């Protein structure tokens, strides 16, 4: 769904047929098997190719591809990249449309069309009202500013983009007020109404679950495990981001990301468990709980699997319970917000292996 924002952007700046196709069948546009999706993709790519071909050296005309992006980049940075790019662009386009309407350029009916098209495919059109001061500060240092002057791509009509340079502060504030949503009320116990983001990271060979030694690792595929983790996350009020890599460097990069954003982590290091001091040092930098998980019981297997270099720097370890090891870890992280300093309770089955 997030990727549809860039397709819709192409419709607003250059090809209204894109908007017509989505309005005719929003569900089909959302579906990977939707009959019009190939045509939507083709048209959006053609828009970008035409714009770039007219401005190979980025002298100016290519700037229209930034429609919605000035606020979008600020949202991404302010929210510490917990928003998907397309979600931020969606809100940014509605903000730009409101700016254009307030400046007398765009009919209010076209602002309403922005909201209708974007919401019909499941994209957001609001941002928290209390974020505005931080977003404004962030926009002022965006790469598209000229000195301290903000520049926005806006529409004079669908298919007619233009530049709004250095808009008055009161105009910016009024436009943001029209897309502002109330901050979520705290839930009992101090938890925010926003889902808590958790990374679930898996290491080498786990992509072959279901076919790899099923007597040890079970018959559940990795895709099924990932979907189960996401589904349980929704039940628990968590935004579960599931990732897997056979590459040690990529896992380290993700652990650095988690440390920078104070994200809790469920980590199955797989074979890296036993010897990767680089992975161990990345885990040691954690700023939120990290639970090491393994499908099998390492102490019932070969001697080389008995040692974990990860366990000493993890919050806890759950092993030997198959895919339930992941689910128990998520349930542990769904307790009081671990970013407030709490560590999860000791987990059963402490040990180390994949």
On whether the CB atoms of residues 339 and 264 are closer than 8 A, the answer is yes
d(CA 218, CA 102): 60
Question: What is the DSSP code string of 205-220?
Answer: TGGGTTTS-HHHH-S-
Beta-strand ranges (E) seen in the chain are 127-128, 151-157, 160-165, 180-181, 196-202, 238-244, 265-268, 290-294, 316-319
| Catalytic site positions | 204-205, 212, 217, 268, 271, 292, 294, 301
> Per the structure block, which two tokens stand in for 343?
């560590």
- Inter-CA distances, 202 with 137, 245, 270, Å: 37, 7, 7
CB 68 within 8 A of CB 96: yes
**Whole-angstrom Cα distance, residue 251 to residue 200?**
11
How far apart are alpha carbons 85 and 222 in whole angstroms? Answer: 26
> For residue 46, what are its two tokens?
């053609």
- What's the rounded Cα separation, in Å, for the pair 137 and 107? 29
Any alpha helices (H) in 125-247, and if so which ranges?
A: 132-139, 169-179, 214-217, 222-236
Name the nearest CA neighbour of 87 among 79, 38, 283. Answer: 79
């Amino acid at each position: 769904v997030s990727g549809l924002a860039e397709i819709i952007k192409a419709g607003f700046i250059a090809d209204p047929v894109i908007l017509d196709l989505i309005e005719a069948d929003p569900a089909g546009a959302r579906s990977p098997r939707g009959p019009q999706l190939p045509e939507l993709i083709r048209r959006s790519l053609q828009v970008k190719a035409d714009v770039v071909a007219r401005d190979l050296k980025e002298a100016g005309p290519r700037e229209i591809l930034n429609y919605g992006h000035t606020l979008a980049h600020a949202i991404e940075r302010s929210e510490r990249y917990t928003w998907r790019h397309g979600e931020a662009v969606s809100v940014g386009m509605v903000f730009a449309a409101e700016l254009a309407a307030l400046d007398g350029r765009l009919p209010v009916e076209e602002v309403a069309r922005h909201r209708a098209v974007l919401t019909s495919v499941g994209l957001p059109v609001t941002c928290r009202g209390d974020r505005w001061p931080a977003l404004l500060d962030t926009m002022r240092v965006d790469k598209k500013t000229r000195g301290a002057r903000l520049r926005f791509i806006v529409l004079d009509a669908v298919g007619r983009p233009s530049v709004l340079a250095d808009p008055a502060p009161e105009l910016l504030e009024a436009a943001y007020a029209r897309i502002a949503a109330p901050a979520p009320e705290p839930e009992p116990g101090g938890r925010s109404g926003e889902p808590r983001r958790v990374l679930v990271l898996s290491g080498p060979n786990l992509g072959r679950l279901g076919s790899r030694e099923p007597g040890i690792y079970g018959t559940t595929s990795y895709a099924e495990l990932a979907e189960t983790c996401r589904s349980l996350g929704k039940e628990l009020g968590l935004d579960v981001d599931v990732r897997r890599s056979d590459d040690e460097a990529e896992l380290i990069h993700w652990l650095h990301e988690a440390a920078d954003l104070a994200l809790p982590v469920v980590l199955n290091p797989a074979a890296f468990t036993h010897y990767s001091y680089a992975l161990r040092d990345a885990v040691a930098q954690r700023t939120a709980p990290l639970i090491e998980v393994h499908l099998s019981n390492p102490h019932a297997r070969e001697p080389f699997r008995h040692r974990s270099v990860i366990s000493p720097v993890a919050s806890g370890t759950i092993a030997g319970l198959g895919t339930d090891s992941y689910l128990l870890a998520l349930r542990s992280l769904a307790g009081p917000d671990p970013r407030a300093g709490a560590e999860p309770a000791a987990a059963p089955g402490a040990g180390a292996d994949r």
